[in-house]
């Protein structure tokens, strides 16, 4: 039985987060990185459950490519990267403006995406839990092309509203992952931009495609919507390149509707293609991927062996 949310606890957590935000914003980005390093070291020690998940995911994904010491180093790096990312999010509204974004952002392969945005029509943009995906959505709003981004609401409603206010500051509109399907379809019907984090486990009924050599349950709705609405699919990333708060924001793949075959295999082929594109991005810098989540939580059920009724021999 699911516990009812405790409003007092939720609000207390919200106030604590706002206090931390206030302290971090009073610092420079570089000073807040020192706080991030301390926070990452603490989380690595106390968060044993996710630490073990991360190490096991790396073992399954890379096999013997990394030693046990390498896997531990990467997981430590994951905690550090995401703590630094949290600090950067707090500073983004003050640091990324139409006249200042070039100080911190380098664009790569953006021309084909820009052409598509200027041409108009429905467009689906995909990324994963890699680099600073929150900044990517914010940045498109700065550029004047705010997306409609699909995300799961936080369990804490006070924090959810606070995060939403940040996400929508430059015009980005958030659509609830649960119950927002009609809104997603309306975005595509009216020629809008729809964005997803496309590396989340889709449960037992998801479409299983290859991801780092293992079957990964993936939401089939993204491919089905792209096919139905003839929407190109862009795969992109925001990768930390440093020093400090500097990122490379790029597009690696653009799948056009003309590439669909018109067969029942299109959804599976497209899902596999964008999943493989995400894998290629992650391989460039594994420490910037969220290995701590259970991407391979569900696996295909083993096929039942067919039983045949023996044919009686003639007497």
Give the domain ranges of the chain. 8-288
DSSP string, 181-231: HHHHHHHHHTT-EEEEE--S---TTSEEEEETTEEEEE-SHHHHHHHHTT-
Residue 310, pLDDT score:
55
Whole-number Å distance between alpha carbons of 226 and 300: 25
Average pLDDT, stretch 60-82? 96
CA dihedral 66, 70, 200, 93 (to 10 degrees): -140
Is 244 in contact with 30 (CB distance < 8 Å)? yes
Average pLDDT, stretch 230-247? 95
Task: Find, among 218, 242, 213, 277, the residue nearest to 106 by Cα.
Answer: 242
CATH class of 8-288: alpha beta
Neighbours of 14 (CB within 10 A): 17
pLDDT at 315 over 50: no
Whole-number Å distance between alpha carbons of 147 and 141: 7
Q: Report the first-to-last Cα separation within the chain, whole angstroms.
A: 61
Residue 39: CB partners within 8 Å, gap ≥ 6?
83
Partners of 210 in the beta sheet?
215
Reported as a pLDDT band with limits 50, 70 and 90, residue 255 is very high
Q: For residue range 14-57, what is the model confidence (pLDDT) as tens digits?
A: 998 888 888 888 999 889 999 999 999 999 999 999 999 999 99
* Residue 136 token pair: 């990517």
Task: Find, among 56, 131, 136, the residue nearest to 92 by Cα.
Answer: 136
CA dihedral 185, 189, 194, 196 (to 10 degrees): 30
Q: Residue 287: exposed, middle, or buried by beta-carbon count in 10 A (0-12, 13-18, 19+)?
A: middle
pTM for this model (two decimals): 0.90
Q: For residue range 92-113, what is the model confidence (pLDDT) as tens digits?
A: 988 899 999 999 999 999 998 9
- Cis status of the peptide bond prior to 243, with omega within 30 of 0: yes
Residue 4, pLDDT score:
64
Average pLDDT, stretch 162-171? 89
Is 160 in contact with 154 (CB distance < 8 Å)? yes
Average pLDDT, stretch 254-277? 95
DSSP letter for 47, please: -
DSSP letter for 148, please: E
pLDDT at 2 over 90: no
Is 209 in contact with 218 (CB distance < 8 Å)? yes
pLDDT at 312 over 90: no
Task: Find, among 167, 196, 168, the residue nearest to 184 by Cα.
Answer: 196
């Amino acid at each position: 039985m699911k516990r009812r949310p405790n409003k007092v606890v939720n609000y207390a957590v919200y106030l604590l987060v706002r206090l931390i935000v206030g302290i971090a914003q009073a610092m420079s980005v570089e000073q807040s990185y020192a706080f991030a390093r301390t926070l990452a070291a603490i989380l690595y020690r106390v968060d044993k459950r996710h630490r073990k998940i991360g190490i096991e995911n790396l073992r399954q994904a890379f096999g013997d490519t990394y030693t046990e010491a390498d896997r531990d180093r990467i997981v430590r790096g994951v905690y550090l990267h995401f703590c630094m990312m949290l600090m950067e999010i707090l500073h983004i509204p003050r640091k990324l403006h139409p006249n200042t974004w070039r100080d911190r952002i380098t664009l790569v392969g953006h021309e084909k995406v820009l052409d598509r945005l200027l041409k108009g029509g429905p467009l689906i943009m995909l990324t994963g839990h890699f680099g600073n995906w929150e900044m990517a959505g914010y940045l498109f709003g700065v550029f004047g092309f705010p997306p409609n981004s699909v995300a799961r609401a936080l369990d804490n409603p006070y924090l959810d509203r606070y995060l939403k206010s940040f996400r929508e500051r430059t015009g980005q509109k958030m659509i609830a992952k649960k119950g927002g399907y009609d809104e997603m379809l309306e975005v595509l019907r009216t020629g809008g931009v729809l964005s997803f984090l496309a590396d989340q486990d889709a449960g037992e009924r998801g479409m299983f495609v290859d991801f780092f050599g293992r079957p990964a349950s993936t939401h089939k709705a993204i491919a089905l919507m792209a096919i139905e609405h003839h929407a190109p699919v862009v795969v992109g990333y925001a990768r930390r390149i440093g020093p400090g708060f500097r990122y490379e924001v790029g597009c690696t793949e653009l799948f056009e509707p003309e590439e669909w075959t018109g067969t029942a295999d299109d959804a599976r082929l497209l899902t596999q293609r964008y999943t493989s594109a995400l894998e290629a991005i992650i391989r460039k810098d594994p420490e910037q991927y969220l290995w701590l989540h259970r991407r391979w939580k569900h696996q295909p059920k083993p096929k039942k062996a067919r039983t045949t009724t023996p044919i009686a021999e003639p007497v």
